[in-house]
A and B are shown apart, each in its own frame.
Chain A
Amino acid sequence: GAVVSQHPSWVICKSGTSVKIECRSLDFQATTMFWYRQFPKQSLMLMATSNEGSKATYEQGVEKDKFLINHASLTLSTLTVTSAHPEDSSFYICSAATGRGSYNEQFFGPGTRLTVL
């Protein structure tokens, strides 16, 4: 099956620093990757959609200068939380889609827990 990894699985950082989260599709090429944010016991909220080689499309209300997304290759997308603050503490999940088949199914990574002190 299609496997998506995320690194790191958890990170603690000081307020004002930047944190980079990597999302990799291990055994397939992902034309599109998605980044979600999930607060405890809440649903997944789509932050942005990224296509390889082009700029990410951000959802309304998501600050593009704060959440920098790069999709440099068909197997790697990164999310950088710049000048992180405690309110950015959350669980960040990525997913990847092949763009093929009728389902164009999204395969989810295991998530990254970010804690900003």
Chain B
Amino acid sequence: AQTVTQSQPEMSVQEAETVTLSCTYDTSESDYYLFWYKQPPSRQMILVIRQEAYKQQNATENRFSVNFQKAAKSFSLKISDSQLGDAAMYFCAYRNGNKLVFGAGTILRVKS
């Protein structure tokens, strides 16, 4: 079974600084998708960024970028120029086929 591990229960970052959230996963598949979701206090799940496993190039969405290391099964999220609105729970997720498997989540706190 596929598993997703987020080893950082909580992280803090100063406003305007950069923070990296870690994620590792376990799978025997070669074709799959990886996602980072943000869940703010409203609890609405928001897609931050996605990565196809067959693509070597790391995905980037404005201030958000990933470091995808397929051989190491690692998928970290870097948030640059952190803003107060980035404070939320962040979930790493793996998808092969239909189902999403989520990590335990990392609470990100942004200090002003």
Residues of A within 8 A of B (CB): 32, 34, 38, 41-46, 49, 91, 93, 95, 97, 102-106, 108, 110-111
Contact = CB atoms under 8 A, between A and B. Distances in A.
A42 B104 contact: yes
Contacts of B107: 41
Interface string B61-76: 0000000000000000
A44 B37 CA distance: 11
Contact of A103 (B50, B89, B99, B104): B50
Interface string B20-43: 000000000000010000000011
Interface of B: 33, 42-45, 47, 50, 52, 89, 91, 98-105, 107
Q: Name the prevailing secondary structure of the A interface residues.
A: strand
A96 B104 CA distance: 22
4 shortest interchain CB distances as A-B pairs:
A108-B45, A43-B102, A44-B102, A110-B44
Given A91-B43, A111-B44, A46 B33 contact: no
Nearest to A59: B99
Contacts of A45: 102
Contacts of B50: 103, 105
B52 A43 contact: no
A110 B42 contact: yes
